[in-house]
């Protein structure tokens, strides 16, 4: 389904545990930050992942992640994860996600650190792709937030 979806933003502080020996964020940790962003975007639409698993028997699994890292994040940086659904159809959701370093004084975007296209498949308990339930699609495509 092609439509414009609003962006969702969360802030993440870089902790020592997120970094390598040199104080730079380990590349795989951006995936963790982005996972938080996607989860909170879905929560904004009333879609709790645990509830979806229990009530609909579905989960969302990452099937593809294409990430570029223009600059590194460092220990104690304040980051913003920007997430947006860019495609929703059948069993698939595609997200565009950007991680920014925020300026400590202004709170504005200072530098782009990572950009990703993340593809998810809706799967059933047998790990097979299945269409996203209609009520979930309706929750994601309505202006008003619905809780399913």
80 contact partners, CB below 8 Å, separation of at least 6 = 9, 10, 11, 12, 99, 100, 102, 109
Non-local CB neighbours of 4 within 8 Å, separated by 6+ positions? none
CB 137 within 8 A of CB 5: no
State the catalytic residues: 20
For residues 49, 51, 55, 59, the Cα torsion angle rounded to the nearest 10 degrees is 10
| Beta-carbon count within 10 A of 73 CB | 26
Element (H, E) at 73: none
Longest dimension (CA), the chain: 49
């Amino acid at each position: 389904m092609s439509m414009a979806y609003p962006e969702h933003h969360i802030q993440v502080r870089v902790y020592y545990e997120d970094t390598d020996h040199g104080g730079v964020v380990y590349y795989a940790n951006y995936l963790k930050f982005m996972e938080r962003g996607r989860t909170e975007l879905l929560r904004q639409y009333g879609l709790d992942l645990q509830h979806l698993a229990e009530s609909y028997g579905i989960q969302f699994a990452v099937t593809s992640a294409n990430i570029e890292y223009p600059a590194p994040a460092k220990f104690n940086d304040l980051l913003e994860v920007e997430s947006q659904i860019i495609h929703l159809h059948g069993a698939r959701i595609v997200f565009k996600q950007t991680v920014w370093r925020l300026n400590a004084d202004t709170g504005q975007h200072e530098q782009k650190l990572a950009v990703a296209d993340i593809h998810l498949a809706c799967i059933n308990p047998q790990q097979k792709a299945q269409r996203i339930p209609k009520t979930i699609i309706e929750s994601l495509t309505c202006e008003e937030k619905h809780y399913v």
